[in-house]
Amino acid sequence: MRVAIASDHAAVSLKATLVAWLREAGHDVLDLGPATDARVDYPDYGYKLAEAIASGDAVRGIALCGSGIGISIAVNRNPAVRCALVAEPLSAALAREHNDANAIAMGARLVGEDMAKACVSAFLETAFAGGRHAPRVDKLGAPAFEKEPA
């Protein structure tokens, strides 16, 4: 599976760990940067990640910053992407199963390497359940004013 990954300066170390670990597991990893811990702006890298998913260059994405919050907001600005902020594996699995998330975000200052790996594993190994969740996910891709509550 082709997985895109991007971070800001606060998460470069965790990103490098995850890139190596994913490649060892046989994934094709698109590392969108940055390459060093020089200060950068998380929206720039969140937008790169979202574009990689929206264009089909990657199937799934992993977004990292200090808290995971800022970069998740940036990634979610692209309507083709559903990015869930996660900090433990159950949320990562439910993001896929119920919300068909195609990206997750994590905070490097909040989750350790082992927990990040567990979240990524759950995210990559879980399938979308479809069924009753599909109409709800469809609503996520349309402007709120176009859809009325059922």
- The response to whether 44 counts as a known ligand-binding position is no
Question: pLDDT value at position 150?
Answer: 59
Question: pLDDT value at position 140?
Answer: 85
Question: pLDDT value at position 147?
Answer: 56
CATH superfamily, with its number, for domain 2-141: Sugar-phosphate isomerase, RpiB/LacA/LacB (3.40.1400.10)
* Residue 79 per-residue DSSP state: T
Integer Cα distance of 133 and 26 in angstroms:
30
- The response to whether 8 counts as a known ligand-binding position is yes
Integer Cα distance of 93 and 47 in angstroms:
23
H/E run at residue 91? helix 89-99
Question: pLDDT value at position 56?
Answer: 98
Domain boundaries, the chain: 2-141
Instruction: Sort 91 into a burial class: Cβ within 10 Å, 0-12 / 13-18 / 19+.
Output: middle
* Residue 107 per-residue DSSP state: E
Residue 133 annotated among the catalytic residues of the structure: no
- The response to whether 99 counts as a known ligand-binding position is yes
- Distance set, CA 33 to CA 36, 39, 100, 150 (Å): 8, 12, 25, 42
Question: pLDDT value at position 120?
Answer: 98
Going by C-beta distance under 8 Å and a sequence separation of 6 or more, which residues neighbour residue 110? 67, 68, 87
Residue-level pLDDT, tens digit, the chain, 150 residues: 999 999 999 999 999 999 999 999 999 999 999 999 999 999 999 999 999 999 999 999 999 999 999 999 999 999 999 999 999 999 999 999 999 999 999 999 999 999 999 999 999 999 998 899 988 888 887 666 555 655
CB 75 within 8 A of CB 63: yes
Question: pLDDT value at position 129?
Answer: 80
**Two structure tokens written together for 144:** 């709120």
Which of these is catalytic: 65, 83, 119, 133? 65
Question: pLDDT value at position 38?
Answer: 96
Residue 27 annotated among the catalytic residues of the structure: no
SS3 4: strand
Question: pLDDT value at position 143?
Answer: 67
